[in-house]
């Protein structure tokens, strides 16, 4: 599932780069801001949104049971 999401996001980034390069100067700043936002989301997706890599559990006791061998 993440491969499809990342592929679509990467395609949108490439399209936005093309649109930003083809737009007039006054609109290039706006398209550039959208491109920066989407690029930031893509980087956050690569860093944190894997099923295996990121585990959010607000309770330390549950996390300790899964990771601490001496619990």
Decide if 7 contacts 29 (C-beta within 8 A): no
Q: What angle do CA 34, 36, 41 make, to 5 degrees?
A: 95
| pLDDT value of position 16 | 93
| pLDDT value of position 68 | 82
Token code pair at residue 61: 């006791």
Q: How far apart are the first and last CA of the chain?
A: 34
Please tell me the total count of domains within the chain. 1
Residue-wise pLDDT tens digits, 28-51: 899 999 999 999 999 998 888 776
Domain range spanning residue 20?
Answer: 2-67
- Residue 9's contacts (CB-CB under 8 Å, 6 or more residues apart) are 38, 41, 42, 45
pTM equals: 0.64
| pLDDT value of position 48 | 80
Decide if 38 contacts 12 (C-beta within 8 A): yes
């Amino acid at each position: 599932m993440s491969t499809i999401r990342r592929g679509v996001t990467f395609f949108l980034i490439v399209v936005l780069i093309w649109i930003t390069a083809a737009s007039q100067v006054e609109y290039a700043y706006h398209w550039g801001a959208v491109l920066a936002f989407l690029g930031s989301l893509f980087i956050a997706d690569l860093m944190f949104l894997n099923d295996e890599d990121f585990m959010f559990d607000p309770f330390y006791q549950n996390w300790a049971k899964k990771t601490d061998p001496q619990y």
